[in-house]
Amino acid sequence: MHHQEFARRQVRLFDLDFDDLAMPGLLDRMAKAVRARDRCWIATVNVHSLCLADRDPDFRGALRQADIITADGVPIVWISRLIGRPLSQRVTGSDLLLPLAERAAAEGWRLFFCGGEPGVAERMTKVLRARSPDLKVVGCASPFFADAKALVDRSANATLLAAIREAAPDVLLVAFGQPKQERWIHAHLSSGELGVPVAIGVGGSFDFLAGRQHRAPRWMRRGGLEWVYRMLTQPARLGPRYARDALTFARLCVSQLRGRQA
């Protein structure tokens, strides 16, 4: 792990070390990494990520290589409180985008958006620039990967990686969804071909900000019910996944709580 020089509070949950960081602290950590040109991979971990990590040891191993892990899910915060090691709040990729754009505009950071359907990152850039006119967006890409192997294959990624290196961003936002974005970031950071200080996986955030999808109302997000809203709006795609994840997460919570009592 990097950044040992920073005072940090971590909470061990579900076999991962979550950083207890509110948004300002996370942005400060990113600022230090940009100044030092030091690697800082931020993974926002939600219930779905935890369930994937439980089923796939390789994915869990990749997540453990992240420099910062934030809790992107109210249920994870609830469990941390139940075991007496509370995380102060959740930090999601979607909530991060606007404050990050404001800070980036103020500090002169160069951003690169990677992911989403063609045109989505460009639409999002317009939304962000309307709020922060000084924002420097140095590149947008919407790569297509035929399969999981292509995600981590050097030749399949050569053009994309070259474009990112040439653009020389300070912060790279990757919106491939889980587990693709984490696998991609891990593979190309590990190989040294992704030479960016800050890399963040932000899931479906580009779609929300570009107006392609609507987020749940704030009261539902605060109450940990965002998944209900998403399932109602995309039942065929998300219904089976959420049903499976609910069972897995319940089992993980039981073993977490039992471990606390042992």
pLDDT in tens, 192-238: 899 899 999 998 778 767 655 566 667 666 666 565 556 566 666 76
* Structure confidence at residue 218 (pLDDT): 72
Residue 191 lies in a domain: yes
Tens of pLDDT, residue by residue over 137-163, are 999 999 999 898 999 998 999 999 999
pTM across the whole model? 0.86
Say which CATH number the domain at 182 has: 3.40.50
Residue 144 lies in a domain: yes
Structural domains in the chain (count):
1
Domain that holds residue 112: 10-210
Q: Across 81-85, 215-219, 242-246, which has the greatest mean pLDDT?
A: 81-85
3-state secondary structure string, the chain? CCCCCCCCCEEEECCEEEECCCHHHHHHHHHHHHHHCCCEEEEEECHHHHHHHHHCHHHHHHHHCCCEEEECCHHHHHHHHHCCCCCCCCCCHHHHHHHHHHHHHHHCCEEEEEECCCCHHHHHHHHHHHHCCCCEEEEEECCCCCCHHHHHCHHHHHHHHHHHHHHCCCEEEEECCCCHHHHHHHHHHHCCCCCCCEEEECCCHHHHHHCCCCCCCHHHHHCCCHHHHHHHHCHHHHHHHHHHHHHHHHHHHHHHHHHHHC
Residue 87 lies in a domain: yes
- Note the maximum CA span of the chain: 54
Residue 80 lies in a domain: yes
- Beta carbons within 10 angstroms of residue 148's beta carbon: 11
Higher-pLDDT residue of 224 and 180 is 180
Place of tokens 């300002």: 24
Residue 112 lies in a domain: yes
- What percent of the chain has pLDDT above 90? 62
Residue 219 lies in a domain: no
* Structure confidence at residue 1 (pLDDT): 45
Residue 246 lies in a domain: no
- State the sign of the Cα–Cα–Cα–Cα dihedral 141, 146, 150, 152: positive
CA distance 143 to 39: 23
* Structure confidence at residue 152 (pLDDT): 92
